[in-house]
A and B are shown apart, each in its own frame.
Chain A
Amino acid sequence: MSHTPPIFINQGKNTVGYFTTSNPEKLIIFVHGFNGSATDTWDEFPALIKENNEYANSDVVFYGYESLKGQVNNNALRFYNFLKIIAEGNSKRLGYSRNNLAPNFTYSKILIVAHSLGSIVVRRALLNAKAENKTWLLNTRMILFAPAHRGARIQNLISESLPTLGRIFAGLGFITIPVLDDLRPNSQTILNLIQETEQLIQQNQGDFTISHTVVWANNEIVVHNERFCQDPIAVLFDNKSHTKVCKPIRPNFLTPFEIVTEAL
């Protein structure tokens, strides 16, 4: 018995937590992409985590947000507000209280794993944290799968990521999806993200902006596989598409899980 059953957290949208039944030391947060969902995007990650001893002291949260409505920076702000609650020792407010935690408890490490659009949400949230001098940034790492932080090909994004009806309604102009504008390579959202990151790196204050690992899909047709500022050279997954690159599936494709485990 390493983790709780799913705890439905009243933050974001359909956010689910699996809290350790041992002493919590680390926190891992998964953030999905465009039209993803809190847990589905990550396929067998929840089951693998619960079965693996290396996660025995980690709380794990699958954060969800309404990616089809609202601008990306609004979602980033909500995610930042959630991060503040969980990273600053207020996890009781998330619907699961543990009597054995010290009143001043904080995690020794926070690992944020994001897919596609989630990378922009996470980067912007961490820049907000920097603006408010949050000390937990020093213990925070990012792993990014098929990140959209250098923009996306909108037509391909729609055809790959939206369900049939969403694709049809978007084609007919029935529905407005503001985030699509934010995802264009030269959008103000992305240009600002790059500029603010570069500034912090020049001032030697941008370590937190450098991802621990970046994964690209070899069959990528949605996002632009371009290096972001000082990120490390990406790892390339063969025979994987934009949506499959972050989904571990037993027994033959465990690499996404191994990458996250290695970063713990």
Chain B
Amino acid sequence: MSRQKFNLDIISKQYRRKGAAAKAFKSLSVLISSNDTRNLENILRDHKDEPIWENYLVDERDNIDFLIDYYSILEIGIIANYFPYNLPSKLKDEVNNILGNDYVSKYYSKYYPLILPQLLLKHISFSNVHSSIDASTPIQSNLFEKFLVLNQTIKSDGDVDQFLWFLDGGITEGYSINDLLNVLSNRETIRYKLGRSNTHPLNSSLFGFIKYIQFIKDYADLLRQTSEFKLLQSSFWHYQSYWFDHMKVQLGDIIKVALNNIRKTMNDTTQTELVNDNNSYINNSEDFDKWKSSTEQFGGIEEDIKFLLNPKMGDPLTQLLNQN
């Protein structure tokens, strides 16, 4: 077996042949083969037309998102030359059957537009789409594996989930993103609300905020390392396009407000308060001064966010999709 086929087999085992994606594949295959258009339309509807309130539908759509996620990874892996350019015929048939279905197609092209699955379907249908891809190099393999590992860190993290849920307008136990922003601006509020529990939604979202900002930095670094390979860089960017494109205003604004609120809280807090606080690690003026200077690094965070929210990063892939 060639290296690329071996890579495809191992990655497909993890992302497609088990768990949520496997469930979605099974249920969509049944609905498509039985031409059950009523259920396909219902499951894959735009939530703006009719909200999704049924629990089973939420689960079903989550599973479908995992399946589409796998197809996106497939496309990126082809661009990275990590997977074979000519996919096995069984997989091509699967992609055609699922992504080529009218209702599924509307879901990822119109209601929740994603370039990567659209490009994969085009690639399957017109085999010269990726003729510009260079021969595989170890560097692109390393970058692709870094991409997989980095995305995995936030896929399986409850704290990041909580933060992103708030960012997306979600509410947990009556708390929302506004509560998180409020507590960041008022030290006494957060201490009153949090107590000592690391499982409190606000506390979890605080940890999630720390981790997501770290992810932003690491993702920006990955994209900078990929600058030589414009298509691959663009595909990495599109993989996170829900946050970097669709939600870019919310993401940018909320982080800006959060950083300003943190600055305010730091300015309002005295050295004596922190030295007398058993929860704080600050013991003296040296610790306090060093801690205060942490805000100087906000510039780096803001720069990474500006870099990632630049829509031009998505252009190479969008242009490829729009080529005849």
Q: State the CA gap A5–B6 with chains docked (Å).
A: 9
Are A165 and B209 interface neighbours, CB within 8 A?
Answer: yes
Are B210 and A166 interface neighbours, CB within 8 A?
Answer: yes
Name the A residues within 8 Å of B206 (CB-CB). Answer: 169, 174-175
Given contacts A7-B14, A172-B187, contact A1 B3 (CB under 8 A): yes
Given contacts A68-B207, A163-B214, A168-B291, contact A180 B280 (CB under 8 A): no
Are B280 and A170 interface neighbours, CB within 8 A?
Answer: yes
Q: State the CA gap A68–B211 with chains docked (Å).
A: 11
Cβ contact of A46, chosen from B145, B157, B194, B262, cutoff 8 A: B145
Are A8 and B283 interface neighbours, CB within 8 A?
Answer: no
Q: How far is the CB of B223 from chain A (nearest CB, A)?
A: 16
Cβ contact of A171, chosen from B142, B203, B281, cutoff 8 A: B281
Q: State the CA gap A171–B203 with chains docked (Å).
A: 15
Name the B residues within 8 Å of A8 (CB-CB). Answer: 14, 152
Q: Is A205's CB within 8 Å of the partner chain B?
A: no
Are B218 and A159 interface neighbours, CB within 8 A?
Answer: no
Closest to B298 in A: A164
Name the A residues within 8 Å of B209 (CB-CB). Answer: 165
Cβ contact of B291, chosen from A47, A95, A167, cutoff 8 A: A167
Q: How far is the CB of A96 from chain B (nearest CB, A)?
A: 8
Complex interface bits, A13-26 against B, C-beta within 8 A gives 1, otherwise 0: 11010000100000
Given contacts A169-B206, A175-B203, contact A180 B297 (CB under 8 A): no
- Indicate the size class of the contact surface on chain B: 35 or more
Complex interface bits, B188-207 against A, C-beta within 8 A gives 1, otherwise 0: 00110010101000010011
Given contacts A14-B153, A170-B281, A176-B279, contact A4 B10 (CB under 8 A): yes
Complex interface bits, B285-302 against A, C-beta within 8 A gives 1, otherwise 0: 001001100110110110
Q: State the CA gap A1–B10 with chains docked (Å).
A: 13
Given contacts A173-B191, A173-B277, contact A14 B156 (CB under 8 A): yes
Are A5 and B274 interface neighbours, CB within 8 A?
Answer: no
Q: Is B31's CB within 8 Å of the partner chain A?
A: no
Name the A residues within 8 Å of B300 (CB-CB). Answer: 164
Given contacts A14-B153, A40-B218, contact A159 B14 (CB under 8 A): no
Are B294 and A167 interface neighbours, CB within 8 A?
Answer: yes
Name the A residues within 8 Å of B210 (CB-CB). Answer: 163, 165-166, 169, 175
Complex interface bits, B249-274 against A, C-beta within 8 A gives 1, otherwise 0: 00000000000001001100100001
Name the A residues within 8 Å of B214 (CB-CB). Answer: 163
Closest to A44 in B: B142
Q: How far is the CB of B295 from chain A (nearest CB, A)?
A: 8
Q: State the CA gap A95–B148 with chains docked (Å).
A: 16
Q: Is A6's CB within 8 Å of the partner chain B?
A: yes
Are A173 and B280 interface neighbours, CB within 8 A?
Answer: yes
Q: State the CA gap A6–B156 with chains docked (Å).
A: 15
Q: State the CA gap A170–B207 with chains docked (Å).
A: 11
Q: State the CA gap A40–B300 with chains docked (Å).
A: 19
Q: State the CA gap A68–B198 with chains docked (Å).
A: 10
Q: State the CA gap A46–B277 with chains docked (Å).
A: 42
Q: Is B282's CB within 8 Å of the partner chain A?
A: yes
Q: Is B171's CB within 8 Å of the partner chain A?
A: no
Q: State the CA gap A176–B297 with chains docked (Å).
A: 22
| Beta-carbon contacts under 8 Å, B105-162 to A | 138, 142, 145, 148-149, 152-153, 156-157
Q: Is A155's CB within 8 Å of the partner chain B?
A: yes
Q: How far is the CB of A151 from chain B (nearest CB, A)?
A: 15
Complex interface bits, A108-121 against B, C-beta within 8 A gives 1, otherwise 0: 00000000000000
Q: How far is the CB of A89 from chain B (nearest CB, A)?
A: 21
Are B290 and A14 interface neighbours, CB within 8 A?
Answer: no
Q: State the CA gap A257–B207 with chains docked (Å).
A: 33
Name the B residues within 8 Å of A5 (CB-CB). Answer: 6-7, 10-11, 82, 145, 148
Closest to A10 in B: B156
Cβ contact of B297, chosen from A7, A21, A155, A164, cutoff 8 A: A164
Q: State the CA gap A37–B154 with chains docked (Å).
A: 12
Q: Is A158's CB within 8 Å of the partner chain B?
A: yes
Q: State the CA gap A95–B152 with chains docked (Å).
A: 15
Given contacts A14-B153, A164-B294, contact A172 B280 (CB under 8 A): yes
Q: Is B164's CB within 8 Å of the partner chain A?
A: no
Name the B residues within 8 Å of A68 (CB-CB). Answer: 207
Closest to A168 in B: B294
Q: State the CA gap A167–B266 with chains docked (Å).
A: 12
**Nearest 6 CB-CB pairs, A to B?**
A173-B279, A173-B280, A171-B291, A164-B297, A165-B210, A166-B210
Residues of A within 8 A of B (CB): 1, 4-8, 13-14, 16, 21, 37-40, 46-47, 51, 68-69, 95-96, 154-155, 158-159, 163-176, 180
Q: Would you give 17 A-B contacts (Cβ < 8 Å), ordered by A?
A: A4-B6, A6-B145, A7-B14, A13-B156, A13-B157, A38-B149, A47-B138, A95-B14, A155-B283, A163-B210, A165-B209, A168-B291, A168-B295, A171-B287, A172-B269, A172-B280, A173-B187
